[in-house]
Structure 1
Amino acid sequence: MTKKISGAEFPLAKIFSSDFDYVIPSYQRPYAWTTVQAGELFSDLHDFYCKEDKEDTYFLGSIVLIKEEGKPHAEVIDGQQRLTTLTLLLAALTHRASGQIRDAFHRYLCEPGNVLEGLAQKPRLTLRERDSAFFKRYVQDVALDELLALDPAQLENESQRNIQANARLFLQRLDAAFGADATAATQFGGFLVQRCFLVAVSTPSQQSAFRVFSVLNSRGLNLLPTDIIKSDVIGKVKPALRDAYNDTWEELEVETGRDGFAEVFGHIRMIYAKDKARRALLEEFRERVTAKVPSAEDLVTKVIEPYTQAYLVAKHAQYVSTSNAAEINALFRWLNRIDNSDWLPSAMKFLAEHESDASYVHWFVKRLERLAACMHVCGYDVNSRIERYGRVLSALEKPHSMASPVSAIELTDHERTSFLAQLQGEVYLMTARRRNYLILRLDSFLADGAATYDPSILTIEHVLPQTVAKDSVWAAQWPNVADQLRWLHRLANLVPLNQRRNSQAQNHDFERKKKAYFGGKQGVSSYVLTTQVLSTPTWTPSVVEQRQKDLMDVLSTSWGLK
């Protein structure tokens, strides 16, 4: 068998003919084009059709096939979205037509069969097993009225909902463009099959087809890197195992979601590279990960699967154990509140190798949360964070256990000192994300982890107001302006509230402020920090100074900063 790659430009009349018998392999992702992409395709085709020059041809891009020369069977490696969408458009044109015109359109959907030529009746395009019967029943057999009558919520998957939505869109667009003018619609159909072209790139070699696919799609077509990596990897799995490995891959992608799965691959790249990404994920993953793993089977079972499961545990706080699980998941929830996910590769690496040791997991995740909080509160930039986590990942590659734990996760003396300085400083002047994280984390320490928080309705308010009127009670209790400036923006003078700012109440005296503002409608607060203030009789410099010491003691003890 030759491994020759051939490419030729064909009109859709040839693309949807007995020369090609398209099959979408099971490892391909589902039909994903929405009405956005389908609508753009129709608009482009119709706008081009309406141009005055009726001889111009329209190029629809390329498809990549595993196909032996002279044989119609064609496994679609790239192009299923376009082939499926074009089939839907042809089905909509067939639906509107009647008599011989309808029969002519229908031949592009299904091979009518010819006993003399040995051609069986069958669809031109067979979708993945999960959707093939649905597509044949409603689209290729042109039962579009029945298709549109189905309840989208009761369809099996997103792919079928996209098929239904795009069929409806094409019928609406054809109606808007041509109305009841059957001749005009037929002429548009003639343009579609005669003057619209696809380039079909064919090779009998699967490896060769995947290589072509990767080259085409690493140059800007709309696929996630994980789709291309999947083609690389699944194509190299032993044929007898391919379906099982493909099912494993798809289950992982379903569990994480497509974007989440792409995030997993970025984190796996970091686990191996331990430095900041400088090139495209596809290129770096191949170089830093794939090239280091002995086989495609090992890449799936020993890298992608365990790291994806570890990602799900950390990302969704789903650690399961008879001991420490609640504490570990609480720590994961706090880690997920931080405004970056740079901590995840370290968590994934650790969990993938030590998940069964609950006490060690608790030890590690507690320190990981402290390190992440330190960098978050201190405002580390991405380069500094990546460099720091890179040191943790390097240490995780060496032998370690609860008896001899990994020390790189501990704060250095410099980090500890910097962290304490930030906690003691003017917290209110931090960015909102850093400030809110710190104050809610402090409140959780006071609540012993029992409280839950909705940061979407959080505001941080000053007890001593930012503006002290000269004739106010505040001025009498805080006569020294230096004291006001010293304590105004520090932790002790800040309270979290579950309400929008009340600018009129901000400058009330302490008693009135507690009743009308801090306590809410019921006179109580869901925050321990605010409840403490509500139970404080006066608010003077000495009270605030003592409160600052108490709060710092809580943070120092809880985060182990002493």
Structure 2
Amino acid sequence: MTKKITGAEFPLAKIFSSDFDYVIPSYQRPYAWTPVQAGELFSDLYDFYCKEDKEDTYFLGSIVLIKEEGKPHAEVIDGQQRLTTLTILLAALTHRAAGSIRDAFHRYLCEPGNVLEGLPQKPRLSLRERDREFFKEYVQDVALGELLGLDAAQLDTESQRNIQANARLFLQRLEAVFGNDSQAATQFGQFLVQRCFLVAVSTPSQQSAFRVFSVLNSRGLDLLPTDIIKSDVIGKVKPELRDEYNETWEELEVETGRDGFAEVFGHIRMIYAKDKARRALLEEFRERVIDKVSSAETLVTEVIEPYTQAYLVAKYAQFVSTANAADVNDLLHWLNRIDNSDWLPSAMRFLAQHGSNAAYVHWFIKRLERLAAFMHICAYDVNGRIERYARVLNALEKPHAMAQPVTAVDLTEAEKKSFLKQLDGEVYSMTARRRNYLILRLDSFLADGAASYDPAVLTIEHVLPQTVAKGSQWETLWPDFLQQLHWVHRLANLVPLNQRRNSQAQNHDFDRKKKAYFMGKQGVSSYVLTTQVLNTATWTPEVVEKRQRELLDVLATSWELK
């Protein structure tokens, strides 16, 4: 078999002809174009069509195929998004047409067959197995009315929802620009099949096709590293098991979502490598993970599947057990509020190993949340976080159990001391993400887990204002400027509010500030911290100092820092 790479420019009339029999391989990602990309394509095509020069041609980009010369069978390595979307557009034009025009359009969707030439009747494009019959029934057999009548929430996959949404978009756009003018719509169809071109690059070698793909610019959404990893891994599975393992892979991808699945692979890389990524994920995953696992089957069943399930539990707080589940999921919710996901590999590694031991899971996740909060509040950079979590991942590789737990997740005495110092410092000077996390976490400790936090607007406000006006009540209560300066940005003087900053109210006297600014519409606050202030008669340095000691004690007790 020759390894020759060929490339030629073809009009869509040739692209959607018996010269090509397109198949989307199982390892390819699902159909992912939304009405955003489909709408851009239609606008580009229609704007070009409306130009005065009716002989000019429109270039749609390139597709990369594994295809032997002279044979129609073509595996699509790159270009499935455009081929699928163009098929939906042609189906929308077919739906609007009648008689011989409808038949002519339909020939681009399905091979009508020819007994004399040995051509069977079949669709010109076969999607991945999961969506193949759906696409044939509703798009290629032009049942768009029935397609739009389906409840999107009941469709099996995101691909099917995208197919339905894009069919609706094209029908709406065609109606908007052509109305009932069937002749004008037909002329637009003629433009599509005669004057719109794709470059088809073909090679019989998969390796060669991927090499071509990697250097070609494409109008479509790029393949993610996970798509190419899938082709490597599933291709190495024993032939009799390949369908089963491919189905497992696709189920995991559906559960996590496309971007989530890519995130899983990044975290698995960290579990194995325990250091910062320095090269592309595809390259590092092959070297750090695939090369360390005995077989493709083992990689799927003992690495990708359990770590993906652990990721779903950790990312979406879905821990299930007869004991401790609510406490564990509450901790996972707080972990997910942190502005980085560097904690996830440790959680995934632990849950994949010990997820069935509810008591040990609670023990570990409680300490992991404290560790993550410590590094978040103390402003560790990514290198510091990765280095610290690497110690946990290394410890997780050694034997451990509830009787002899993995102590690397615990804070050291030096870390506890550093944490307490930060908590007792000028909290308001932290970045908004860090101080918001700390104050909401403190409020949750005071509420004993009874409160939930999902404010559309969250502001952290000072009780003692940042600027004390001359002659105000505040000046009487706080005559010492250095005392004002010492306490104004500390924890005890801060309250969370579910409203936008009110610059006029910030300098009100204490009683007026409580009534006009700190109370909600019902005269109460959503937050325990703010309610405590509402129930305080006055706001003197002595009150604030006592409150600071109490709040620090709550944090030190709840996070076990003493």
**Secondary structure of the corresponding residue to residue 495 of structure 2:** strand
User: Alpha carbons of 1:205 and 1:365: their partners in 2 closer, same or farther (altered >3 Å)?
Assistant: same
Q: State whether residues 5 and 201 of structure 1, in contact with CA within 8 Å, keep that contact through their aligned partners in structure 2.
A: no
Q: 1:393 is aligned with what amino acid? A: L
Q: 2:64 is aligned with what amino acid? A: I
User: Alpha carbons of 1:228 and 1:220: their partners in 2 closer, same or farther (altered >3 Å)?
Assistant: farther
Give the 5 Å matches for 1:314-463.
314-463=314-463
Partner of 2:6: 7
Q: How much does 1:190 deviate?
A: 4.8
Q: State whether residues 472 and 509 of structure 1, in contact with CA within 8 Å, keep that contact through their aligned partners in structure 2.
A: yes
Partner of 2:493: 493
Partner of 2:59: 58
Q: State whether residues 5 and 202 of structure 2, in contact with CA within 8 Å, keep that contact through their aligned partners in structure 1.
A: yes
Partner of 2:39: 39
Q: For residues 447 and 174 of structure 1, what CA distance do their matches in structure 2 show?
A: 57
Q: Which moved more, 1:284-293 or 1:135-144?
A: 135-144
Q: For residues 164 and 427 of structure 2, what CA distance do their matches in structure 1 show?
A: 53
User: Alpha carbons of 1:503 and 1:96: their partners in 2 closer, same or farther (altered >3 Å)?
Assistant: closer
Over residues 58-92 of structure 1, what are the superposed CA-to-partner deviations in whole Å (9 max), with x where a residue is unaligned?
A: 35302323x45544333434332222222233334
Partner of 1:509: 509
User: Alpha carbons of 1:211 and 1:240: their partners in 2 closer, same or farther (altered >3 Å)?
Assistant: farther
Q: How much does 1:172 deviate?
A: 5.2
User: Alpha carbons of 1:560 and 1:501: their partners in 2 closer, same or farther (altered >3 Å)?
Assistant: same
Q: For residues 514 and 221 of structure 2, what CA distance do their matches in structure 1 show?
A: 59
Partner of 2:30: 30
Over residues 288-330 of structure 1, what are the superposed CA-to-partner deviations in whole Å (9 max), with x where a residue is unaligned?
A: 2222222222221111111111111111112222332222222
Over residues 322-350 of structure 1, what are the superposed CA-to-partner deviations in whole Å (9 max), with x where a residue is unaligned?
A: 33222222211111111111111111111
User: Alpha carbons of 1:146 and 1:302: their partners in 2 closer, same or farther (altered >3 Å)?
Assistant: closer
> Gaps (5+ residues) in structure 2?
none
Q: For residues 68 and 483 of structure 2, what CA distance do their matches in structure 1 show?
A: 85
Q: State whether residues 64 and 201 of structure 1, in contact with CA within 8 Å, keep that contact through their aligned partners in structure 2.
A: yes
> Gaps (5+ residues) in structure 1?
none
Over residues 263-282 of structure 1, what are the superposed CA-to-partner deviations in whole Å (9 max), with x where a residue is unaligned?
A: 11121122122222223322
Q: How much does 1:254 deviate?
A: 1.7
Over residues 343-362 of structure 1, what are the superposed CA-to-partner deviations in whole Å (9 max), with x where a residue is unaligned?
A: 11111111111222323222
Q: Which moved more, 1:246-255 or 1:397-406?
A: 397-406
Partner of 2:559: 559
Partner of 2:475: 475
Q: State whether residues 210 and 235 of structure 1, in contact with CA within 8 Å, keep that contact through their aligned partners in structure 2.
A: no
Q: For residues 223 and 472 of structure 2, what CA distance do their matches in structure 1 show?
A: 64
Over residues 2-23 of structure 1, what are the superposed CA-to-partner deviations in whole Å (9 max), with x where a residue is unaligned?
A: 3635433252333322233223
Q: For residues 375 and 556 of structure 2, what CA distance do their matches in structure 1 show?
A: 16
Q: For residues 169 and 241 of structure 2, what CA distance do their matches in structure 1 show?
A: 40
Partner of 2:547: 547
Over residues 341-400 of structure 1, what are the superposed CA-to-partner deviations in whole Å (9 max), with x where a residue is unaligned?
A: 111111111111122232322222222111111111111222222222222222222333
Q: 1:469 is aligned with what amino acid? A: A
User: Alpha carbons of 1:292 and 1:5: their partners in 2 closer, same or farther (altered >3 Å)?
Assistant: farther
Q: State whether residues 6 and 201 of structure 2, in contact with CA within 8 Å, keep that contact through their aligned partners in structure 1.
A: yes
Q: How much does 1:402 deviate?
A: 2.7
Q: Which moved more, 1:472-481 or 1:549-558?
A: 472-481
Q: 1:450 is aligned with what amino acid? A: A
User: Alpha carbons of 1:35 and 1:446: their partners in 2 closer, same or farther (altered >3 Å)?
Assistant: closer
Partner of 2:264: 264
Q: 2:544 is aligned with what amino acid? A: V
Q: State whether residues 82 and 220 of structure 2, in contact with CA within 8 Å, keep that contact through their aligned partners in structure 1.
A: no
Partner of 2:222: 222
Q: For residues 457 and 38 of structure 1, what CA distance do their matches in structure 2 show?
A: 34
Q: State whether residues 109 and 124 of structure 2, in contact with CA within 8 Å, keep that contact through their aligned partners in structure 1.
A: yes
User: Alpha carbons of 1:499 and 1:200: their partners in 2 closer, same or farther (altered >3 Å)?
Assistant: closer
Q: For residues 80 and 215 of structure 1, what CA distance do their matches in structure 2 show?
A: 17
Q: For residues 345 and 486 of structure 1, what CA distance do their matches in structure 2 show?
A: 40
Q: 1:58 is aligned with what amino acid? A: F
Q: For residues 75 and 471 of structure 1, what CA distance do their matches in structure 2 show?
A: 81
Q: State whether residues 63 and 198 of structure 1, in contact with CA within 8 Å, keep that contact through their aligned partners in structure 2.
A: no
Q: For residues 113 and 456 of structure 1, what CA distance do their matches in structure 2 show?
A: 59
Q: For residues 400 and 176 of structure 1, what CA distance do their matches in structure 2 show?
A: 66
The two structures have a TM-score, normalised by structure 2, of 0.89
Q: For residues 42 and 121 of structure 1, what CA distance do their matches in structure 2 show?
A: 29
Over residues 211-261 of structure 1, what are the superposed CA-to-partner deviations in whole Å (9 max), with x where a residue is unaligned?
A: 665676899952322222222222222222222112211221222122221
Q: State whether residues 27 and 247 of structure 1, in contact with CA within 8 Å, keep that contact through their aligned partners in structure 2.
A: no
Q: State whether residues 92 and 171 of structure 1, in contact with CA within 8 Å, keep that contact through their aligned partners in structure 2.
A: yes
Partner of 2:278: 278
Equivalent residues, number? 560
Q: For residues 167 and 511 of structure 1, what CA distance do their matches in structure 2 show?
A: 61
Q: For residues 131 and 219 of structure 2, what CA distance do their matches in structure 1 show?
A: 29
Q: For residues 534 and 47 of structure 2, what CA distance do their matches in structure 1 show?
A: 68
Q: Which moved more, 1:210-219 or 1:233-242?
A: 210-219
Q: 1:4 is aligned with what amino acid? A: K
Q: State whether residues 29 and 223 of structure 2, in contact with CA within 8 Å, keep that contact through their aligned partners in structure 1.
A: no
Q: Which moved more, 1:155-164 or 1:200-209?
A: 200-209
Partner of 2:232: 232
Q: State whether residues 62 and 79 of structure 1, in contact with CA within 8 Å, keep that contact through their aligned partners in structure 2.
A: yes
User: Alpha carbons of 1:13 and 1:409: their partners in 2 closer, same or farther (altered >3 Å)?
Assistant: same
**Secondary structure of the corresponding residue to residue 460 of structure 1:** strand
Q: For residues 305 and 24 of structure 2, what CA distance do their matches in structure 1 show?
A: 25
User: Alpha carbons of 1:187 and 1:60: their partners in 2 closer, same or farther (altered >3 Å)?
Assistant: farther
Q: For residues 60 and 444 of structure 2, what CA distance do their matches in structure 1 show?
A: 60
Q: State whether residues 463 and 494 of structure 1, in contact with CA within 8 Å, keep that contact through their aligned partners in structure 2.
A: yes
Q: For residues 14 and 356 of structure 1, what CA distance do their matches in structure 2 show?
A: 57
The two structures have a TM-score, normalised by structure 1, of 0.89
User: Alpha carbons of 1:191 and 1:484: their partners in 2 closer, same or farther (altered >3 Å)?
Assistant: closer
Over residues 118-139 of structure 1, what are the superposed CA-to-partner deviations in whole Å (9 max), with x where a residue is unaligned?
A: 2222222223344334433443
Q: How much does 1:147 deviate?
A: 4.5
Q: State whether residues 342 and 385 of structure 1, in contact with CA within 8 Å, keep that contact through their aligned partners in structure 2.
A: yes
Q: Which moved more, 1:457-466 or 1:211-220?
A: 211-220
Q: For residues 218 and 168 of structure 1, what CA distance do their matches in structure 2 show?
A: 25
**Secondary structure of the corresponding residue to residue 337 of structure 2:** coil
Q: State whether residues 225 and 281 of structure 1, in contact with CA within 8 Å, keep that contact through their aligned partners in structure 2.
A: yes
Q: For residues 156 and 285 of structure 1, what CA distance do their matches in structure 2 show?
A: 30
Q: State whether residues 210 and 232 of structure 1, in contact with CA within 8 Å, keep that contact through their aligned partners in structure 2.
A: no
Q: State whether residues 395 and 408 of structure 2, in contact with CA within 8 Å, keep that contact through their aligned partners in structure 1.
A: yes
Give the 5 Å matches for 1:115-264.
115-144=115-144, 147-148=147-148, 152=152, 155-171=155-171, 173=173, 189-202=189-202, 222-264=222-264
Over residues 92-118 of structure 1, what are the superposed CA-to-partner deviations in whole Å (9 max), with x where a residue is unaligned?
A: 444555555544433322222222222
Q: How much does 1:433 deviate?
A: 1.3
User: Alpha carbons of 1:98 and 1:502: their partners in 2 closer, same or farther (altered >3 Å)?
Assistant: closer
